[in-house]
Amino acid sequence: MEWKANAPDTVRPPVFSQEDGRLSIELPVAESVGMWTGEYEVKPGRGCRISAWADVPAEVNNNVTMVLSWCRADRALPPDQRDYVGFRDESSVLRRFDETFTVPDGCVRLEILCMFKWRAGRAVFRDIRVDECEPLPKRMVRLAAANIKPAPAATLEKNLKIFEDALDHVCRSVNNLDLIVFPECHTFRGVKATMHERAEALPGGVTFSLCSRYAAQYRTWIVANIHEKTPGGQIHNTAFIVNREGKLHGCYRKVHLTTGEQASGIIPGTGFPVFELDFGRIGIAICWDNWFCESARQLRLNGAELLVFPLAGDAKESHWSKTWSTRCIDNSLPMVVSICDPKVPSAILDRDGTWLAATMERGGFAFAEIDLNERKRSFWLSVGPSFGDPYQLYIKERRPEAYS
């Protein structure tokens, strides 16, 4: 394999060296960039796994990257598609690249660009491999978003009956569900009670117990939302996850609290965890969280593949009809929305913001299947004239060092 070093003539020239498959780029100043390029033959429609290691300066962001160009035989044509190779940092000075792609139709050449930019120091790419494999399979998930409203003159007993009826309805209506999402704090919605009377323990409590029974019976994951009372007496607005065996899998505590929640003594959460389920990684934002674009972005940065959004309501159609799609588009993530507002739908949206299913039926649900491995590529973006993947680009081309 022949690798060629190059750099723009507008920057201080890097120092390149190559030995035993190790491709070194040393930048004299931050205002510079250097690249190694190589080419491989590939087969259209086949899988192609790209892997490599890189020794990097301490705590780099997106300064050390690998970019792929999928090309046709005619070298006069631009690449059909360009992709970043996903990576994880094994330490502050060691980066592991590893991702599998399906070779686009008509493409027979793969150009690999190993780039180091905008950081003085030395980066070394090594152990670069291109392996043919099976193409990426579909990863279908079956999702349901419940739409339930509190009972008139609500009591806990009435709301629990509505909740169980909704659970029973969706579980009997759709086979092999992977995830059901319920609205924000729906069990005590409209019930006259103190905050201590509303709060439930996790695990345990009436809401968890009901979810646990149905999750185990129908072998599905469930996300529901309660006021949680901790053993230490703190109260949180908490979404919990029940696994297919009916066990507590994890919980997220609402970070952005409304003024009323603050005044009532609810304590906010401190971060945006991502949860590994058997079909993929989900992140949760509760109601007011989603008015802050940082919530969905942080979940994406933390590795979420699906946004889960339980909420009480959204007063303005001009807001929810646009903002929900925007959160999906900004992060290239699909989203499941469950609500208990009679004027607003529960819905499932694709990663490009398309509304796949929605309902305002009391006790009803929105249902859709989504392929978590599908990418909604767009022409041009930052990689034109080629197709690019927003799921990669919106993360791999961020400049976090410029945001504070």
> What gap in Å lies between CA 340 and CA 182, rounded to an integer?
9
Task: Answer whether 366's CB lies under 8 Å from 347's CB.
Answer: yes
**Which residue in 199, 262, 251 sits closest to 229, CA to CA?**
199
Helix (H, G, I), strand (E, B) or coil at 1: coil
Helix (H, G, I), strand (E, B) or coil at 404: coil
Domains and their CATH numbers in the chain: 4-136+377-402 (2.60.120.260), 140-371 (3.60.110.10)
Residue 252 phi/psi, 5° resolution?
Answer: -120, 135
pTM, 2 dp: 0.94
> What gap in Å lies between CA 27 and CA 383, rounded to an integer?
24
Q: pLDDT tens for the chain, 404 residues: list them.
A: 799 999 999 999 999 999 999 999 999 999 999 999 999 999 999 999 999 999 999 989 999 999 999 999 999 999 999 999 999 999 999 999 999 999 999 999 999 999 999 999 999 999 999 999 999 999 999 999 999 988 888 898 999 999 999 999 999 999 999 999 999 999 988 888 898 888 999 999 999 999 999 999 999 999 999 999 999 999 999 999 999 999 999 999 999 999 999 999 999 999 999 999 999 999 999 999 999 999 999 999 999 999 999 999 998 899 999 999 999 999 999 999 999 998 999 999 999 999 999 999 999 999 999 999 999 999 999 999 999 999 999 999 999 989 98
> What gap in Å lies between CA 386 and CA 402, rounded to an integer?
27
Tokens representing 250 are: 């994890």
